[in-house]
Amino acid sequence: QLQLLQLTTDVFAQITSGTTLFLGPSTKSGFEGELLRVTASSTNPATKTITLTSDKSVGFVNGVDKVVFSKHIWLFNQNYLQETGTGALYKINLLDGNILSRTKGGAFKDIDATDFVDLTDVFEGSLTSFNLPSYLIFIRTNNLLFIDVFDSQLTTSLSSIQNNLSPSTAEVYPVFDLAIEGDTFFRLQKKFNINGTESSESTYNYQLATFKPFPTAIALSAVPAILPADSNSTSLVTAVVTDQYALPYLQVPAAQITFQTSGGGSNSGLDAPGPKDLSLTATATVTYEAGQDAGLVTISAEVTI
């Protein structure tokens, strides 16, 4: 019986009675490079164990050695066949090396940093459909792109904007590798944007980022957008808060937003500036009432998490 560590239930959904597994190659002394074929008898997602049809040992230590499940190799290629202007993503059988699929795409060209990530416990509310255990992730310019490997079309499910950009020019800092630890991922770079200041180093180093959503933008709209200065007319102002995935920023408990205004003269203002909770769609509204002085009115908002 093999004790599995840090595996999601998605692994067990793919392993049924009679499934053939290959253990190894082992790196233990005396078994180096050995590959062993075994057959699963049953699985128990609750205890994260797999029972084999018979006992096998290839130098693994129960409860100590991690078991990593791999079925395919995913390869980013600079070219698609003989087309040099676009890249390709290859899916290759791990055991025999056969090419199972070849997907053409400009996003697959010039890829240096890639990894796999489990996001089964990241998104809240109506966004839980994005909580999947099987994302292939890669850096394309200043975006971290996510592909669900079980999607037959291999479409981009998510895109998270990154700050590997020069704060003063249009330069995109190359990312050479990705590493993951829990909800944190590390971008290997030589140039960095630290709080809006460019930093360069003679050696490579990692810049930290998170998979957890955080607010990155507030979009404000007012209907109507212009009012007479009559100390009576009103406009409904709506704020929509989005995160680094360009998705509504949802969290439990809800984040709060506070509105502010300047200009408009006497008798102008907001009916309930907050702080108030964001809705289930990451929105909030406030009513602005016109004053008696004509001129530009500025309305702003700030989110507290």
Find the range with the poorest average confidence among 2-6, 33-37, 99-103: 2-6
Provide the 10 A C-beta neighbour count for residue 113: 21
Dump pLDDT digits (tens) for 136-157: 999 999 999 999 999 989 999 9
Closest CA to 22 of 71, 55, 62, 73: 71
Question: Is residue 222 very low, low, confident or very high in pLDDT (cuts 50, 70, 90)?
Answer: very high
The residues facing 145 across adjacent strands are 138, 159
SS3 sequence of 158-201:
EEEECCCECCCCCCECCCCEEEEECCEEEEEEEEEEECCEEEEE
Reading the block at residue 272, the tokens are 């309930």
Q: Is 135 exposed, middle or buried (0-12, 13-18, 19+ CB in 10 A)?
A: buried
Above pLDDT 70, what percent of the chain?
A: 88
Strands in 143-148's sheet, in edge-to-edge order, are 114-117, 135-140, 143-148, 156-161
Find the range with the poorest average confidence among 46-50, 84-88, 138-142: 46-50
Above pLDDT 90, what percent of the chain?
A: 64
Looking at residue 28, what is its pLDDT? 53
Question: Is residue 60 very low, low, confident or very high in pLDDT (cuts 50, 70, 90)?
Answer: low
Instruction: State the Cα–Cα distance between residues 40 and 38, nearest whole angstrom.
Output: 7
Looking at domain 215-304, its CATH class is mainly beta
pLDDT at 209 over 90: yes
Reading the block at residue 14, the tokens are 């793919």
User: Is 139 strand, coil or helix?
Assistant: strand
Long-range contacts of 223-232 (CB under 8 A, 24+ apart): 227/288, 227/290, 228/290, 229/264, 229/265, 229/290, 229/291, 229/292, 229/293, 229/294, 229/295, 230/290, 230/292, 231/266, 231/267, 231/268, 231/289, 231/290, 231/291, 231/292, 232/289, 232/290
Looking at residue 40, what is its pLDDT? 86
46 versus 86: which is more confidently predicted?
86
Question: Is residue 4 very low, low, confident or very high in pLDDT (cuts 50, 70, 90)?
Answer: very low
Question: Is residue 33 very low, low, confident or very high in pLDDT (cuts 50, 70, 90)?
Answer: low
pTM value > 0.95? no
Instruction: State the Cα–Cα distance between residues 135 and 149, nearest whole angstrom.
Output: 6
Looking at residue 20, what is its pLDDT? 82
What does 117-128 look like in DSSP terms, one character per residue?
E--TTS--GGGG
Calculate the average pLDDT of the chain: 88
Q: Is 189 exposed, middle or buried (0-12, 13-18, 19+ CB in 10 A)?
A: buried
Question: For residue 284, what are the CA distances in angstroms to 95, 249, 298?
Answer: 53, 12, 17
Instruction: State the Cα–Cα distance between residues 102 and 79, nearest whole angstrom.
Output: 11
- The CATH 2.60.40.10 portion of the chain extends over 215-304
Looking at residue 3, what is its pLDDT? 35
Looking at residue 5, what is its pLDDT? 34
Q: How, if at all, do strands 143-148 and 269-270 pair?
A: unpaired
Average pLDDT over residues 6-23: 71
Average pLDDT over residues 43-72: 71
User: Is 250 strand, coil or helix?
Assistant: coil
pLDDT at 70 over 80: no
